[in-house]
A and B are shown apart, each in its own frame.
Chain A
C-alpha cells in the first residue's frame, strides 16, 4: 500500500472557546467551513465528490444515528461510499486508512474526510458540567462515575504514576521532561495564528501550574475548543494531476483495544503504538532515524513521551533522557507538535483532535507552515490515539508515515 494515495488538500477552521458575545457556530457549520477550506486548498469542487467517498468522524455533537448520511445530505454530496469512524482521537487517521483501502480496491478514486465538534456548547447532563449525555450512560460510565474517576485527568494520571514507579523516575525528573514538551508546544503555538493559546511559558511556569489530579497539572491538560478540520485524499494518479505538492501516505498500521501482557493484568505504560509504528515504518521502507518531524497525538505531554518510546525513537523508560537531550522546536534535531499541538492549539473535541497531526503533516510537507516551517522536511510520522479504556491505557492506536515524495 506504500504511496497508493496522497492528501491533496486540507483545511482547519479557526477555533473558538465559545466565549460570551461570540457568534456560536453549530457542528454542521464547522463541517461545511472545514470542507470549503479543504476544497479550496485542493482546487476542487464539492461536486467532484458525487459518486466518490465522504468520510466523517463521529463527534459528541453528532445529532442523529445516521450521522454520515445526514452530513452528506447537509452538504448536498451524493457519495458512493460513506465512511464513519467512532474511534475518538484515532478517527481522523483511521478514516484515512479506510479511504486508502477503498481507493486501492478501485471502488472510489477520492474522498473528502471531515471532522468537527462543538464540545464547548454541547448540551451537558447538568449546567456547568462538561459531560455530554453520551459520556454518562451505560455500563462503562456506571463503573467509573460513581467510583470517583475524574475523566481523562484521572486516567492519564494513573498511567503517569505507574510509569514513574516502573522506570524509577523521581517526580521532578518526569515533570521537567513533560514541562519541556508542553512549553515547546506552546512556543510553536505562538508561531501559529490558528492556535488558541499563544503566550509562551517556561518549564518553571509549567511546574508552578496547579495540580488537578496528581501528578497531572493544569498545563498538562488539553483545552477544549469548537472547530472543524478536513482533508482530501485521492489515488496517486489523480494526485499527480491535481497538485504539484501531493502528500504521500507511505505507511500505516492500526490496532484497537491493545493489551501489553495479559488481558486481565496488562502493563499500562505501553500503548499499541509499539506494534503499529514498526509496521508503518516497514511499509514505508524507512526507519526512525529518517523522520524529520514527529506529530504525535498530543493531548497530554505524557502521551507524547510514551509515543517517543513506543515508536522506537528511544528505548522504553528512556523518554526523559531522550527529551532532555533533544531540541524539540521546529529548528531542532527532533521537532514535534509544530502546530502547537492540541495542548496549546486546542482540541476540537476528543473525537476530532486526531485530525490535527494529519493537517499539520500536510502543511509541513507542502512547505505551507509559515513561521514554524521545518526546513527540508521529507518524512513525517504522526499518530491517532483514541479513547481511554477501563483502568488501562488507550483504546485505538493508528500510526501514519507521510512523505513529500512517493
Chain B
C-alpha cells in the first residue's frame, strides 16, 4: 500500500464493499437492503443492523435526499493533505430518500446557503480506476 504518496485516501476495496464502488463508478447509488425486514443498511454491513439477517441485497436507491446536518471544514484534520485544495469543504449527513443515512460532500452551493432540510441530489466523482464517491448538490 503506497498510502504515503496519496493526496487523498482511497478505500481498500473488499468483496463486501466492491458493489458500492463499482455502482458509483457507473453513476448509481446502491445500498444493502435486508431481504427479510426491508431495512436499508449503510455503510456496508455484514448483517442487517435491524434484524440480524445476513442475506443483504444491493439495491439502487433514488439519488435524492435531504440534509440532516452539515459542517463546513476550513482546515484538514484527521484526513489526508490532498483535501487542502478543496477547502472550504461542506460535509453533510444526508437522509437518502429511500435509503439510509450517509456522509456526503455538498458542492455547487455557497457554504452559507447550505441548510438543514435542503433537498439534494447525488452525483459521482471518480477517485480511482475502481471507485467513485457520491457527492451531493442542491436539486
Is the beta-carbon distance between A265 and B101 smaller than 8 angstroms?
A: yes
Is the beta-carbon distance between A214 and B74 smaller than 8 angstroms?
A: yes
Q: Which of A142, A144, A213 contacts B71 (CB 8 A)?
A: A213
Residues in B whose Cβ lies below 8 Å from that of A214: 71-74, 111
Give Cα distance in the complex from A129 to B82, angstroms: 12
How many whole Å from A153's CB to the nearest CB in chain B?
5
From A74-82, A158-166, A288-296, A394-402, give the one contacting chain B: A158-166
Is the beta-carbon distance between B81 and A139 smaller than 8 angstroms?
A: no
Residues in A whose Cβ lies below 8 Å from that of B133: 146-147
Is the beta-carbon distance between A147 and B104 smaller than 8 angstroms?
A: yes
Is the beta-carbon distance between B78 and A135 smaller than 8 angstroms?
A: yes
Contact digits for B77-103, partner A, Cβ 8 Å, 1 yes 0 no = 111110100100101010100001111
Closest to B132 in A: A146
Is the beta-carbon distance between A161 and B70 smaller than 8 angstroms?
A: yes
Give Cα distance in the complex from A44 to B75, angstroms: 48
Is the beta-carbon distance between B73 and A148 smaller than 8 angstroms?
A: yes
Is the beta-carbon distance between B91 and A145 smaller than 8 angstroms?
A: no
Is the beta-carbon distance between B69 and A212 smaller than 8 angstroms?
A: no
How many whole Å from B49's CB to the nearest CB in chain A?
5
Closest to B14 in A: A139
Asked if A105 is an interface residue, CB under 8 A from chain B, the answer is no
Closest to A130 in B: B78
Residues in A whose Cβ lies below 8 Å from that of B8: 145-146
Give Cα distance in the complex from A149 to B69, angstroms: 13
Residues in A whose Cβ lies below 8 Å from that of B77: 150-151, 153-154, 212-213
Give Cα distance in the complex from A268 to B93, angstroms: 11
How many whole Å from B72's CB to the nearest CB in chain A?
4
Q: Evaluate whether A211 and B74 lie within 8 angstroms (CB atoms) in the complex, with A126-B4, A136-B9 already known.
A: yes
Is the beta-carbon distance between A153 and B78 smaller than 8 angstroms?
A: yes
Is the beta-carbon distance between B101 and A264 smaller than 8 angstroms?
A: yes
Closest to A128 in B: B81
Residues in B whose Cβ lies below 8 Å from that of A149: 79, 91, 103
Is the beta-carbon distance between B17 and A147 smaller than 8 angstroms?
A: no
Q: Evaluate whether A151 and B78 lie within 8 angstroms (CB atoms) in the complex, with A136-B3, A142-B17, A146-B127 already known.
A: yes
Asked if A314 is an interface residue, CB under 8 A from chain B, the answer is no
Asked if B10 is an interface residue, CB under 8 A from chain A, the answer is yes
Contact digits for A216-242, partner B, Cβ 8 Å, 1 yes 0 no = 100000000000000000000000000
Residues in B whose Cβ lies below 8 Å from that of A148: 73, 79, 83, 86, 89, 91, 103, 105
Give Cα distance in the complex from A149 to B78, angstroms: 8
Residues in A whose Cβ lies below 8 Å from that of B111: 214
Asked if A391 is an interface residue, CB under 8 A from chain B, the answer is yes
Residues in B whose Cβ lies below 8 Å from that of A129: 80-81
Asked if A215 is an interface residue, CB under 8 A from chain B, the answer is yes
Asked if B61 is an interface residue, CB under 8 A from chain A, the answer is no
Residues in A whose Cβ lies below 8 Å from that of B4: 125-127
Asked if B63 is an interface residue, CB under 8 A from chain A, the answer is no
Is the beta-carbon distance between B79 and A390 smaller than 8 angstroms?
A: no
Is the beta-carbon distance between B78 and A143 smaller than 8 angstroms?
A: no
Residues in B whose Cβ lies below 8 Å from that of A143: 11, 42-44, 102-103
Residues in A whose Cβ lies below 8 Å from that of B68: 162
Give Cα distance in the complex from A160 to B72, angstroms: 12
Is the beta-carbon distance between A263 and B73 smaller than 8 angstroms?
A: no
Q: Evaluate whether A152 and B91 lie within 8 angstroms (CB atoms) in the complex, with A146-B9, A158-B71, A161-B116 already known.
A: no
Known: A126-B80, A147-B103. 10 other contacts (CB 8 A): A126-B81, A127-B4, A128-B81, A131-B79, A142-B11, A145-B8, A146-B133, A150-B73, A150-B78, A215-B71
Q: Please list 10 pairs of residues, one from A and one from B, whose beta carbons are closer than 8 Å in the complex, sorted by A's number.
A: A136-B9, A143-B42, A143-B43, A146-B11, A146-B131, A150-B91, A153-B77, A263-B50, A264-B100, A391-B93
| A residues adjacent to B (C-beta < 8 A) | 125-131, 135-154, 157-162, 165, 210-216, 263-265, 268, 390-391
Closest 4 interchain pairs by CB?
A151-B78, A157-B71, A145-B9, A142-B11
